[in-house]
Amino acid sequence: MNPAGVGAQTTDAKRVVRATLSTATDGPGKSRDESYSGSVSPARQPLLVIGFMGGRIHAGNLAHGEARLAQELDQRYPETMHAITFANHREHEALRTVLGLLDTSRDGRLSDAEKKAARIILFGHSWGASEAIQFARELDRRGIPVLLTIQVDSIEKPGEDDGLIPPNVREAVNFYQTEGLLHGRRVIQAVDPARTTILGSYKSSYRSNPVPCAGYGWFARAFMKPHIEIENDRAVWERIEALIVARSCAMNPVEMASACMEK
């Protein structure tokens, strides 16, 4: 039950122009204070992988799968990707960071070319998964495309809709479990199926194969254990990493248009 594209190009990510990116997160373990060493062509941006933490978890808390994935991506693919995590209630900080990174001309505004050159993947667990879809919706309002959204046991936040994927998203995938008091959304749908491909919704079960949940409090382990087991399920995160790596070479709309003109 592998989602379409998992494992493709996992060891053949194209190298891109390296940019040192400047941003900071609000939690321990993940921060940056760097500046660009050069310009990046709008036609090939480094892949921005933006993750949102579940619950009230601070960004960079390595007890959680979201933060571990971001750290591993940065370490394994430093010239291809830039991965950042945010608390799910820090969407304004996330937006400022993404807009700043896309503004390669440093003129304080995004041109149409800079928007079209965006290469963004959004992911999250629980409330963070819901926030990832809400964030994609905000980018859609600004005319910014998203390559892929990834939801892990998505729990809808008040005032949000985590089940409808906005039309600026090229692909979307959903991982969930149905055991315990707290479990994620089973099905996601595209607002515009002609523009968004739903790769699938993939169910996990931990009744026969429990996953260790070190670093979690007694309440989480007692009352929502399957919900945090999927967050710590290495097999799920390996599939997610494969999806992300496979799309690290995906052409953005600028390159697609250029390729079509050359044919």
pLDDT tens digits, one per residue of 180-225: 788 899 999 999 999 999 999 999 999 998 998 887 777 777 778 8
- What CA–CA distances, in Å, run from 39 to 44, 152, 165? 11, 35, 32
* Length of the chain, in residues: 263
| Residue type (1 letter), 155 | I
Average pLDDT over residues 239-244: 96
Q: What's the gap between Cα 216 and its chain centre?
A: 23
Considering just the CA atoms, what is the radius of gyration of the chain in Å? 18
pTM above 0.85, yes or no: no
pLDDT in tens, 60-78: 899 899 999 999 999 999 8
Containing 219, the helix (H) or strand (E) segment is helix 218-223
- Other CB atoms within a 10 A radius of the CB of residue 151 amount to 28
**pLDDT confidence bin for 250, thresholds 50/70/90:** low
Q: Give Cβ neighbours of residue 62 (< 8 Å, ≥ 6 apart).
A: 29, 68, 71
What was the pLDDT predicted at 33?
32
Which residue is listed with tokens 């979201």?
A: 66
Whether residue 165 contacts residue 136, with contact meaning beta carbons closer than 8 Å, is answered with yes
Average pLDDT over residues 53-59: 92
Res. 160: pLDDT tops 70: yes
Containing 174, the helix (H) or strand (E) segment is strand 169-177
pLDDT in tens, 26-52: 333 333 333 333 344 444 578 999 999
Average pLDDT over residues 241-253: 79
What was the pLDDT predicted at 39?
40
Question: What are the structural domain ranges in the chain?
Answer: 47-262
Hey, what CATH topology would domain 47-262 get?
Rossmann fold (3.40.50)
Whether residue 227 contacts residue 31, with contact meaning beta carbons closer than 8 Å, is answered with no
Res. 7: pLDDT tops 90: no
**Which backbone phi and psi does 168 adopt, to 5 degrees?**
-80, -5
| Rounded Cα gap, residues 5 and 124, in angstroms | 19
Percent of the chain past pLDDT 70, that is, above it, reads 78
Beta bridge partners of 150: 123, 173
Percent of the chain past pLDDT 90, that is, above it, reads 63
User: What angle in degrees, to the nearest 10, is found between the helix axes of 91-102 and 127-141?
Assistant: 50
What was the pLDDT predicted at 192?
98
Average pLDDT over residues 135-141: 98
Res. 94: pLDDT tops 60: yes
Whether residue 64 contacts residue 125, with contact meaning beta carbons closer than 8 Å, is answered with yes
Res. 127: pLDDT tops 50: yes
Which residue is listed with tokens 């149905």?
A: 178
What was the pLDDT predicted at 79?
87
